[in-house]
């Protein structure tokens, strides 16, 4: 266990160092190669860890090494430079004078104590917020006492560490296999995107997974908690399905789905209103229409096909309680553009397929970094790799349907947890 844990931490340290060099120097090509190779080695190291823990029960010494590795990766995350301009926007939304300003931002000068980086990154006016009111409320509470940008960034990272720790606790409550829990606890991709870069998807993921824990005994309460994830990011209103689908009858699942959608719709309308809806439409339009070349249009078509797979898998889960392995990666395509941290949107579905959950988390480092536009060798290569990723998802779904000879989702139920 010791060499495996040390290797994963060492590879994560290389990743953090390369991130900082790329941010400072802007020379992407050599660092992209190092990053992708490092991600491949991370995946191999996680696979080795998973295999070793699948064969034997972890000893106390092994658990100490896993805990120490997680602590070391957390410490590295806190000392790594911020390379994500989204983080500065998170701080800006939390520091605007009024709650409603986030959805219709006025011109605002952030000055002093490092806060000027917000205007450097985003200009004199932040873009209208396309995140939900629950996230905005927590963001404003968390950052209310931050006197400097460094303190604000520290608070955001600390929050995501707490959320990530709660996620690990939920995996234990869901009786996820110990080897999978270890792979999650030492997963460099999760630390990179959700702690170093402080992407807020981890809050929505956690709410669905907490709902999943609760829904085992109390489906209605689980649906309410999971439905709250839609107040962080709207697509999670549909992903809340995976907390309760298959727990009881199909009619009950449909009622719970309606409840989750209703929570998102009502909360968004009351606290975000028209400006929130307009912001989401504007972001989607920009992402779809920013380019019109052949490669980009092909990517849009493939993206749409994968999104249809995600929709079909959600319907199948609602009506039959079945979860299909090839569809598990499709939920990142629900957005109009693919960012690597959106692979986290697939986590709730992957957790409902026990035989696949470990494989999913093992694969995250290499997949996330291959599709990461910030470490692309070129823009053309980035589109080519994302398109290939979508093609593979579609190919595996077609292969599944062909091999079973039945509609998607007709194979027997997979037990939850």
Per residue in 323-376, pLDDT tens? 999 999 999 999 888 889 999 999 999 999 999 999 999 999 999 988 887 666
- Whether the CA torsion 368, 369, 371, 374 is positive or negative: it is positive
Say if residues 138 and 203 touch (Cβ distance below 8 Å): yes
Q: What is the structure's pLDDT at 183? A: 96
Domain ranges of the chain: 2-404
Q: How many CA atoms lie within 13 A of 185 on its CB side?
A: 28
Q: What is the pLDDT along the chain (417 residues), one digit of tens a residue?
A: 788 899 999 999 998 888 777 766 665 667 778 888 999 999 999 999 999 888 777 777 778 889 999 999 999 999 988 878 899 999 999 999 999 999 999 999 998 899 999 999 999 999 999 999 999 999 999 999 999 999 999 999 999 999 999 999 999 999 999 999 999 999 999 999 999 999 999 999 999 999 999 999 999 999 999 999 999 999 999 999 999 998 889 999 999 999 999 999 999 999 988 888 888 887 766 666 555 556 677 888 899 999 999 999 999 999 999 999 999 999 999 988 888 999 999 999 999 999 999 999 999 999 998 888 766 666 666 677 888 899 999 999 998 888 876 544 434 343 333
Nearest C-alpha neighbor of 88 from the set 22, 43, 139? 139
Q: What is the structure's pLDDT at 240? A: 96
Say which residues have a Cβ less than 8 Å from residue 240's Cβ, sequence separation at least 6: 208, 211, 223, 226, 227, 229, 230, 257, 260
Q: Give dist(CA 214, CA 191) in Å, integer.
A: 26
Q: Give dist(CA 173, CA 36) in Å, integer.
A: 34
Q: What is the structure's pLDDT at 55? A: 78
Is the pTM higher than 0.85? yes
Q: How many CA atoms lie within 13 A of 103 on its CB side?
A: 21
* DSSP states of 30-76: HHHHHHHHHHHHHHHHHHHHHHHHHHSPPPHHHHHHHHHHHHHHHHH
Q: Give dist(CA 279, CA 61) in Å, integer.
A: 50
Nearest C-alpha neighbor of 347 from the set 175, 206, 223, 160? 206
Q: Give dist(CA 258, CA 11) in Å, integer.
A: 44
* DSSP states of 201-227: HHHHHHHHHHHHHHHTT-HHHHHHHHH
What is the number of other CB atoms lying within 10 angstroms of the CB of residue 366?
20
Q: What is the structure's pLDDT at 378? A: 60
Nearest C-alpha neighbor of 100 from the set 133, 70, 62, 67? 133
Q: Burial level of 108, CB count in 10 A (0-12/13-18/19+)?
A: middle
Nearest C-alpha neighbor of 416 from the set 356, 372, 361? 356
Q: What is the structure's pLDDT at 401? A: 83
Helices (H), strands (E): how many in the chain? 19, 0
Q: Give dist(CA 262, CA 52) in Å, integer.
A: 45
Q: Give dist(CA 176, CA 180) in Å, integer.
A: 7
- Whether the CA torsion 320, 324, 328, 329 is positive or negative: it is negative
Q: Which two tokens stand for residue 409?
A: 């989702």
């Amino acid at each position: 266990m010791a060499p495996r844990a040390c290797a994963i931490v060492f590879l994560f340290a290389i990743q953090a160092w390369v991130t900082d060099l790329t941010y400072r120097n802007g020379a992407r090509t050599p660092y992209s190669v190092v990053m992708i190779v490092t991600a491949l080695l991370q995946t191999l190291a996680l696979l080795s860890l998973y295999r070793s823990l699948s064969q034997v029960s972890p000893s106390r010494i092994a658990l100490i090494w896993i805990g120490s590795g997680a602590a070391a990766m957390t410490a590295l995350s806190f000392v790594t430079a911020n390379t994500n301009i989204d983080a500065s926007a998170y701080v800006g939304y939390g520091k605007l004078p009024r709650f409603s300003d986030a959805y219709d931002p006025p011109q605002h000068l952030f000055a002093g104590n490092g806060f000027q980086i917000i205007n450097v990154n985003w200009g004199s006016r932040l873009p209208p917020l396309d995140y939900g009111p629950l996230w905005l409320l927590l963001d404003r509470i968390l950052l209310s006492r931050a006197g400097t940008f460094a303190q604000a960034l520290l608070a955001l990272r600390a929050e995501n560490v707490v959320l990530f720790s709660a996620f690990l606790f939920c995996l234990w409550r869901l009786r996820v296999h110990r080897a999978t829990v270890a792979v999650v606890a030492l997963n460099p991709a999760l630390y990179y995107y959700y702690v170093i870069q402080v992407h807020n998807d981890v809050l929505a993921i956690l709410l669905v997974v907490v709902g999943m824990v609760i829904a085992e005994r109390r489906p209605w309460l689980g649906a309410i908690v999971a439905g709250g994830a839609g107040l962080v990011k709207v697509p999670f209103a549909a992903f809340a399905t995976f907390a309760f689908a298959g727990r009881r009858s199909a009619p009950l699942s449909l009622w719970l789905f309606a409840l989750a959608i209703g929570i998102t719709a009502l909360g968004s309308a009351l606290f975000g209103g028209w400006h929130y809806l307009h912001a989401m439409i504007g972001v989607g339009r920009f992402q779809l229409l920013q380019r019109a070349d052949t490669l980009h249009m092909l990517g849009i078509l493939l993206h749409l096909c994968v999104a249809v797979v995600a929709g079909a898998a959600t319907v199948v889960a609602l009506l039959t309680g079945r979860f299909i392995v090839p569809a598990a990666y499709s939920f990142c395509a629900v957005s109009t553009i693919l960012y690597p941290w959106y692979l986290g949107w697939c986590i709730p579905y992957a957790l409902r397929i026990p035989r696949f959950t470990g494989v999913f988390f093992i694969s995250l480092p290499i997949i996330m970094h291959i599709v990461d536009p910030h470490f692309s060798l070129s823009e053309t290569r980035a589109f080519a790799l994302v398109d290939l990723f979508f093609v593979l998802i579609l190919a595996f779904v077609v292969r599944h349907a062909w091999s079973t000879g039945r509609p998607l989702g007709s194979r027997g139920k997979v037990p939850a947890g």
